[in-house]
Structure 1
Amino acid sequence: MRGAPPNPPAGVHHEWDGELLRVVGQFRGFVTTPRDVGVRGAELDLLIARQRDHFARRGEAVEWKTRGHDLPEDLTDRLRAAGFVPEEQETILIGRADEMAADPVLPDGVTLRRVTGEADMRRIAVMESDVWGEDWGWLGDDLIARVATAPDEIAVYVAEAGGEVVSAAWLVFRTGTEFAGLWGGSTLAAWRGRGIYRALVAARAKLAVARGTRYLQVDASDDSAPILSRLGFHAVTTTTPYVWAPPRT
């Protein structure tokens, strides 16, 4: 699941620095590596600096995605030394799609549907902005581009009440693997604790099974991880984004 998705959206491209994958052209840069970065000491410092400086020249932030079992063990120390700042740690969970698949059970007044149109993607971005208290307009652009580029690789769902998007989530298939990723799942505060998140998991798992996908993978927040564990997902490691951003002027 660490490798390059086969069909990046328009305007996004992949670059390789040895075994390191760099994603350029999305809302912020992205870096991922094999479990073992493959270099040590001063050579690792140079690798980190190259990524930082590449995006600095573009005037963009960059996320280096780390996992809890990555090597070398001092990778995160060296990222910090290069100016990368850790964001919140998440738990990576894996579950069998057939154990999660079910007809979604929704609270009264809430409906669930799969969406593909640009207007719905913009509505999702508005909901996410409300949830997180910051502008997530980039998400609308990202979802629109991904659906336009590879519609068979992503399935986006919204939960609605009274014409308002109250939650949204998407399923991303990874061609050539037995896995699909569950992403999103944010819910407006007033609608939490009513089973909407579980319903979105069930709907996406049902589609995954229909597509012949065996496993589901989630990078889960502390709020989501307990729900997913109760559904039968198993924690396998953690992931922490380390982010460098250009100095504010």
Structure 2
Amino acid sequence: MDQDAVRALYDEQLRREARPDGPGATVERVGDVVRQTGPAHAWNGVLWSRLEAHTADRAIREQLEHYTALGLGFEWKHYDHDGPADLAARLAAAGLTAEEPETLLVAETGGVGTAARPPEGVELHPVTDPAGVELVARVHAEAFGTDASDLRRRMLDRLAAHPGTTAAVVALAGGRPVSSARLELTPGTAFAGLWGGGTVPGWRGRGVYRALVAHRARIAAEQGYRYLQVDATGMSRPILERLGFVRLATTTPYVHTPGR
């Protein structure tokens, strides 16, 4: 894989030319910044920027003013190849808070093993209705220890408006949801996104996550997507690298909450 070429394609298709990721959201380019604005439960933030030292502070201030005027929190999704070199420090100085960095990993769909199956006693079920969404939200809350209310609403929105663009799956063991994940398909691009893969404590290390990756890779291949991309945590990165994923960048969410 030519990692520089794939990184440039990723930046073009999923950042600079990004499309709204759900109903009620809009993506616009304002100067040298591309941002998404939507309802409070949607993802709001900066997807891409092309800034220089003399333009960065003004651009950051303009995004703060934009989202603050709407009463929205937002995320500036910073990649380590974005300019200027001190952009992260400028975001922090403006009052945005850095969360845990993640690694942008990419693999060619045909190069990811798709034969992995879930361990004995575990069945994979597609998520096609609100009851399935509720199972995903339960896994998310237990696996990551975070509130899943916004995720639940976003999934319900997309299920109603664009049912063919998200392929979510939940793993059940004895009827209990123990793992879940999403595959987001972006028409007109080369990339299918792996999101939200999480397994509850007690079921980790048994091959469930690997089976969910294989399941989604099969779907992406059937739909004609060349690449799989994922923002990997430190927990999932080693598994994905063993499956053939390679690093394109480190990405850090810089977040701003209204009133802070």
Q: What does residue range 109-124 of structure 1 map to in structure 2 within 5 Å?
A: 109-124=121-136
Query: What is the deviation of 1:134?
Result: 2.9
The whole-number CA distance in structure 2 between the counterparts of 1:4 and 1:164 is 40
Query: What is the deviation of 1:5?
Result: 4.4
Residue of 32, 37, 47 corresponding to 1:19:
32
1:50 aligned onto 2:71: no
The whole-number CA distance in structure 1 between the counterparts of 2:21 and 2:104 is 23
Q: What does residue range 186-225 of structure 1 map to in structure 2 within 5 Å?
A: 186-225=198-237
Query: What is the deviation of 1:50?
Result: 1.3
RMSD, aligned α-carbons: 1.7
CA contact (8 A) 1:166 1:187 kept: yes
Which stretch has the larger CA shift, 172-181 or 65-74? 172-181
Residue of 54, 58, 73 corresponding to 1:61:
73
CA contact (8 A) 2:106 2:246 kept: yes
Residue 247 of structure 2: aligned partner = 235
Give a deviation string over 1:151-182, Cα, whole Å, max 9, x none. 22211111111222111111112222221111
1:108 aligned onto 2:123: no
The whole-number CA distance in structure 1 between the counterparts of 2:161 and 2:220 is 20
Residue 181 of structure 1: aligned partner = 193
Q: Percent identity?
A: 42
Kindly provide the amino acid, as one letter, of the partner of residue 47 in structure 2: T
User: How many residue pairs were aligned?
Assistant: 245
CA contact (8 A) 1:6 1:175 kept: no
The whole-number CA distance in structure 2 between the counterparts of 1:218 and 1:10 is 22
The whole-number CA distance in structure 2 between the counterparts of 1:117 and 1:4 is 30
TM-score (norm 1): 0.92
Q: What does residue range 21-170 of structure 1 map to in structure 2 within 5 Å?
A: 21-26=34-39, 27=41, 28-34=43-49, 37-41=50-54, 43-170=55-182
- 5+ long unaligned stretches in structure 1: none
1:226 aligned onto 2:246: no
TM-score (norm 2): 0.88
The whole-number CA distance in structure 1 between the counterparts of 2:160 and 2:112 is 28
CA contact (8 A) 1:169 1:182 kept: yes
